[in-house]
Chains A and B, each alone.
Chain A
Amino acid sequence: MELRDPAHHVSPRAVVFWTVRAVPGWFLALAGQSLWFVASPDQSGLRFTALGATFVLAAAHLIVMPRWRFRVHRWEVTNEAVYTQSGWISQERRIAPISRVQTVDIARGPLEQLFRLANVTVTTASAAGPLHINGLDRATAEGLVAALTVITSRSEGDAT
């Protein structure tokens, strides 16, 4: 028995967004190491290796992580359930029945606005189970929220 992947990918622009978002951290690490490299008088090989390793790691992370993420991050909404998949090295799938959905939020950070992306969060009565769909195209996100509002209003009960 196996789960299939959810039907929809997130926006391809998310790849660039994730890359850009990861750059400052690596930049800080590289800047710190460069300072240390320049400031100290003895230019030992160890420091040079560390700097090189950081550089290679950063490049690998920036190239692999966003693409891997894009392959994993998927979502699907049916009349019965919301199904999301996220992560890259560590992956998580979340499924919640529509009848248990309590709120549907849409959020856009400053950087996300720049890329015309949006995050949709679907919460249930459980603090352990909010479903996040990150990196959605803005129009798709708004359509999704509207559709979810219609679908959830059809179901009854207090969702606990």
Chain B
Amino acid sequence: MNVSGTGQNQSWRRLSARMLLVHPVRELARAIPALVGLVVAGRSVGNGQYWWWGPLGVVGIIALSVLRWATTRYRITTEQVQLRTGLLQRKTVATPADRVRSVDVTASPLHRLLGLAKVDIGTGSHERDSGLSLDSLSAAEATALRAELLHRSPVSQGVRPAGDGVTAGNDDLGSHDVGNDDTGNDDVELSRLDPRWVRFAPFTMSGVLAAAAILGVGWRLLDQLGLTAGDVGPVRGALDHLERTAIWVDVAQGLVVLVAFVTVLSIGGYVLSYWGFRLSRHGQGSLHITRGLLTTRAISIEERRLRGVELAEPLLLRAVHAARLTGITTGLKSRGGAEGGSSLLLPPAPRAVARDVAAQILHDPAPMGVSLTSHGPAARRRRFVRALLLAFILVVAAGVAISSGASPWLALPAVSTVPVAVLLAADRYRSLGHALSGSCLVTRAGSLDRRRDVLECDGIIGWNLRQSFFQRRAGLATLTATTAAGRQGYVVTDVPLSMALSLGDRALPGLLGAFLAPPTPRT
């Protein structure tokens, strides 16, 4: 395929013809409930002369997917990426080629069997479904398209936004990236999955979520079939067994089974999502991530769109010294969930590895290692007041319930929330902190879901300074650095007001200065 010649690219291209094998199969699978309904309806209406309803449905679905293939075209001109779909209602979606922020190539097992891949082009708009999705091209075409889209814009030759990080250190990475246009196709590996990382899988929430989803679906299925869980053979057997044993044995057995179930699921999920994970930097200024065991994904993020990284250390992962890394990218949502959205940079891995990878991505080890300024006694008091208030409410509620006849055992869980609240508050305060390091704003908060956000000051496009009534009394404020990337706003929580202002002033010099009160102390 001609990648660079624009003349060739002007013509409309079709999706791969092999999609004629994928779409019908998938649509049929998706339509099974409806088809079953059709067959049943065809049987029950009249005395069997409508048997053809079911087959007609199958033929209809196949015809529709063929039509979809036949009416879908795309082309890439010098200015735009265009996608045309629909038979009766023609629709053309066009997006400026220089607004392409990420290219995501996904291949499900079925796609891989046929040598196909789906290409999702992210444009960085906030609206849902605003990107283009080409389902599917041949794998070679998809790869070529990705290269074509990402390297058409004069990105890498320009000034790198990393700023100080590059100029400060003449390290091999920095000098490698600057002015390296002739050997554009080289690939520097930043990280690769170590199979031992799978041990972190049980410490993520993915297993719990998967277990909940499976139980939920199973329950619904049983419900629709008009059964209760007790009717299913193995469950019946287990329940009978439980009825014959003591209650604490039941609880212990249940816990063991649950933990084993969740562990197996989380390990399975980790392997499915992240097997073969590899993060590399392309010479022309983009990060490439490939991962996946059965469904493979290849994600490319332009580095000039990358405004920083988030290091997530939920409590459980922190306990085993592990962390997860997500990119703060213009036009990509950071909230990818446990499975990791398009902006995932590193799956749960040892914290040292995560820090190292972040340092390489930022071209600067300082923001990951810098010790954070804590927010002082007022912020600590607020952590404790808030945590204990909740515990206090629970205790009072339990007290009221007991006095009106509930079991006195209720006091046990209610009172035990108090030490938990104390520990939580202490940890939340310990996590709380901020720093300005190199060209980045660093902020950290949270206990159960602790996160260190590193945001390039270049990416900050405004400040929100919020003070509730109690915060004003305590002299605290919550400073939000707004940005077009990631979560859209990165929060420095409960920081003393003057500290917040000096931080804002140092991060974006000149903006706050005009609005600061004259330094004459008020009497």
Residue positions of A touching B, CB distance < 8 A? 1-4, 6, 76, 78, 80-81, 83, 89-97, 100, 124-129, 131, 159-160
Contact = CB atoms under 8 A, between A and B. Distances in A.
B469 A2 contact: no
A124 B480 CA distance: 14
Nearest first, the 3 closest Cβ-Cβ pairs linking A and B are A128-B489, A129-B482, A96-B462
B409 interface: no
B517 A2 contact: yes
Given A2-B497, A2-B517, A94-B464, 6 more contacts: A76-B515, A89-B468, A90-B468, A97-B461, A124-B482, A129-B482
A160 B498 CA distance: 27
B468 A6 contact: no
Chain B, interface size category, equals 35 or more
Interface in B79-128: 126
Interface string B454-468: 000001011111111
A2 B488 contact: no
Contacts of B469: 89-90
Interface stretch (B178-186, B222-230, B256-264, B506-514): B506-514
B330 interface: yes
Nearest to B502: A1
20 contacts: A1-B497, A1-B505, A2-B517, A4-B518, A80-B511, A81-B515, A90-B468, A94-B463, A94-B464, A95-B463, A95-B515, A97-B462, A124-B461, A126-B461, A126-B489, A127-B488, A128-B482, A128-B488, A129-B480, A131-B462
Interface of B: 126, 330, 459, 461-469, 472, 480, 482-485, 487-489, 497-498, 501-502, 505, 508, 510-512, 514-519
A47 to B, nearest CB: 22
Main secondary structure of the interface of B (DSSP, over half): mixed
Nearest to B459: A160
Contacts of A94: 462-465
Given A81-B514, A97-B461, A125 B484 contact: yes
A4 B520 CA distance: 12
A4 B522 CA distance: 13
A129 B517 contact: no
A95 B511 contact: yes
Q: Which of B459, B467, B484 has most A Cβ within 10 Å?
A: B484
Contacts of B482: 96, 124, 126, 128-129
A131 B330 CA distance: 20
A160 B486 CA distance: 12
A153 B510 CA distance: 20
A80 B517 contact: no
A4 B518 CA distance: 8
Contacts, number: 107
B162 to A, nearest CB: 16
Contacts of B472: 91
A93 B516 contact: no
Nearest to B519: A1
A95 B484 CA distance: 15
Nearest to B491: A128
Contacts of B330: 125, 160
Contacts of B463: 93-96
B489 A4 contact: no
Nearest to B472: A91
B462 A90 contact: no
Nearest to A78: B514
B224 to A, nearest CB: 39
B483 A126 contact: yes
B501 A97 contact: no
Nearest to A7: B515
A11 to B, nearest CB: 22
Q: Which of B463, B485, B508 has most A Cβ within 10 Å?
A: B463
A81 B511 contact: yes
Contacts of B497: 1-2
Contacts of A97: 461-462, 508, 511
A15 B354 CA distance: 53
Contact of A124 (B462, B465, B466): B462
Contact of B466 (A6, A92, A95): A92
Nearest to B499: A1
Given A3-B516, A124-B482, A129 B462 contact: yes
B516 to A, nearest CB: 6
Contacts of A92: 464-467
B501 A2 contact: yes
Contacts of B468: 89-90
A27 to B, nearest CB: 26
Contacts of B510: 80
A1 B516 contact: yes
Contacts of B466: 90-93
Contacts of B459: 160
B480 A128 contact: yes
Given A80-B514, A160-B484, A3 B465 contact: yes
Nearest to B505: A1
Contact of A3 (B480, B485, B515): B515
A60 B453 CA distance: 42
A127 B464 CA distance: 12
Contacts of B512: 3, 95
A90 B472 CA distance: 9
Contact of A127 (B126, B465, B518): B126
Contact of B464 (A1, A81, A93): A93
A127 B487 CA distance: 9
A100 B516 CA distance: 20
A4 B484 CA distance: 27
Nearest to A6: B515
Contacts of B465: 3, 92-95
Nearest to A128: B489
Contacts of A93: 463-466
B298 to A, nearest CB: 25
Contacts of A131: 462
Contacts of A96: 461-463, 482
B18 to A, nearest CB: 38
A4 B517 contact: yes
A42 B463 CA distance: 56
A127 B330 CA distance: 12
